[in-house]
Amino acid sequence: MADALPPNATIGIIGGGQLGRMLAVAAAQLGYCTVVLEPQEDCPTSQVANHQIVAAYDDEAGLAQLCKISDVITYEFENVPLTSAAYVEAHGALYPPARALEVAQDRITEKTFLQSAGVPTAEFTAVDGLDDLQAALARFDGRGVLKTRRFGYDGKGQHVFASGAGDDVSAVFDTLQSSANGAGLILESLVPFQSEFSIIAARSKSGEVRSYTPAANTHADGILRRSIVPATGLTESQLADAARHADAVLTALDYVGVIGIEFFAVGDGVIANEIAPRVHNTGHWTAEACDCGQFEQHIRAIAGLPLGSTELLSHRWEMDNLLGSEIDQVPELLQQAGSTVTLYGKQDAKPGRKMGHVTRRIST
C-alpha cells in the first residue's frame, strides 16, 4: 500500500502501561520501532520499547521530542490531556483522532455523541447540584447510577441507587462531587440488562471496518474478571445491531485504529454503555483466538497496512485477568493445555491490580 509505513519506521505511544507494552510488542513483530512517552521510569511499555521519553503527558518539550522521533503516534489510555492530543495532531500524525478522546473523556459528551450517531444509550441527565440529583432520581423512580463525568474507571467514581435502599442522597452527592475535581456528575437510569458484552472493532485509513466476535464479560467490584467468546444468549438481531452501532461510531469519528465498545443486552435490543478509543481489556483473547489480534490490528490500521482476519480459529475461548497475588498462580496456569499466559512486567502485586491475563481455548 502506497501510504503504508515502511519497516523500521517509528511508532510513538503515549502511556506506558500494559496496553502500550502489548502494542510495542505487536509493532516489533511488524518491523517497527517504538518510543513511549511516560512519566514513570521502567514502566511496562519501556521494558519492550526501543526508547522512553520520561515526561508528563502534558509536557510540551516531551511531546515535541515524541513528534520529532515518531512517524505516527497513538495512545494506550483515553485520559490523555486534550491539549496534548491537539499538539500532536498539529505537529505529527495522531491515530485515533483527538476527537475520539474528546468524546470518551466526558460521559455527557459521550452519550450525546452516541445518540447523535443513532446508537441507543441509557437515559441520562447532568447533575451539577444536590437539587439536580434529587429531581433526576424522582424522574428515574429512585433508581440510577451516579457517576463522575470524567476519569472514572474499574467501577471507581460511581454509586448505584436502588429503590428503597435508604441511601443518604446528600452524602453520596458530596462524596462523588468532591472526587469529580470540578467536572460535575451524571445520573444514568438503571438499565435492567440480561448480560454485558463488548465488541472490539477496527477501522483502517481507507475506511474498511472489521469487527471481532462479541465477548460476554463478567465484572467484580467494577473490575473485569472474565471474558468469554462467543457471547451466548444474544439473538441474531442483537448481534447485528451491535455490529451496526460499532460501524456507526467508527464512521462518525472518522476513526483509525481499534476501539472497544461495551453494550448491555436489554430485552430484544442493545444499549451502548461506553466507548474506549483504544485497544481494550475485553479483547485480549484475540491475540490467541484469531489470526490477527487486536494489538497487531491497531498497528496495522495506524500504519496504513491491510486489516487482518478477525475470525475465530476455534469455537470457544475465555480470558481471565490476573489480579494482585493471583500472579502466583502462573506456574500452575502454564501447565494447563490450551492456555497462554501474558504478564505485564509490573513490580508490585497490589490487591486488584492487573498483573497479567490468561487466555484458554475451551474444548467443546
- Tell me the domain boundaries of the chain: 10-94, 123-188, 195-362
Query: What are 125's three cell numbers?
Result: 441527565
Topology classification of domain 10-94: Rossmann fold (3.40.50)
**Cell numbers describing residue 324:** 494482585
Give the lowest-confidence range in 82-86, 192-196, 297-301, 356-360: 192-196
Confidence at 163, pLDDT banded by 50, 70, 90: low
* 289's grid cell: 483466538
Q: Is the pLDDT at 102 greater than 90, yes or no?
A: yes
Q: What is the largest CA-CA distance in the chain?
A: 63
- The predicted-structure confidence for 118-136, as pLDDT tens digits, reads as follows 999 999 999 999 999 999 8
Q: Where are the beta strands (DSSP E) in 114-230?
A: 124-127, 144-148, 158-161, 185-188, 195-203, 209-211, 215-220, 223-229
Give the mean pLDDT of the chain. 94
Q: For 331-350, write each residue's pLDDT tens digit.
A: 999 999 999 999 999 999 99
Sequence-distant (6+) residues with CB within 8 A of 129 are none
pTM: 0.94
Q: How far apart are CA 224 and CA 101, in angstroms?
A: 22
Positive or negative torsion for Cα 164, 165, 167, 173: negative
Residue 37: name the closest of 15, 21, 20, 7 by CA: 15
Question: Among the CATH numbers 3.60.15.10, 1.10.132.20, 3.40.47.10, 3.30.470.20, which is that of 195-362?
Answer: 3.30.470.20
* Residue 303 DSSP SS3: coil
- Residue 252 dihedral angles phi and psi, to the nearest 5°: -65, -30
% of the chain surpassing 70 pLDDT? 97
Confidence of residue 178 (pLDDT cuts 50, 70, 90): confident
Q: Of the ranges 27-31, 93-97, 175-179, which one carries the lowest mean pLDDT score?
A: 175-179
| Phi-psi group of 288: left, alpha or beta (phi > 0 → left; psi -120 to 50 → alpha; rest → beta) | alpha
323 phi and psi, to 5 degrees?
-110, 135
Going by the DSSP 8-state scheme, the letter that residue 77 receives in this structure is S
Q: Percent of the chain at pLDDT above 90?
A: 83
Contacts of residue 90, defined as CB under 8 A and 6 or more positions apart, other chains included, come to none
Q: Which three cell numbers stand for residue 3?
A: 501510504
Q: Class of the 123-188 domain?
A: alpha beta
Nearest Cα neighbor of 77 from 132, 125, 19, 135 is 19
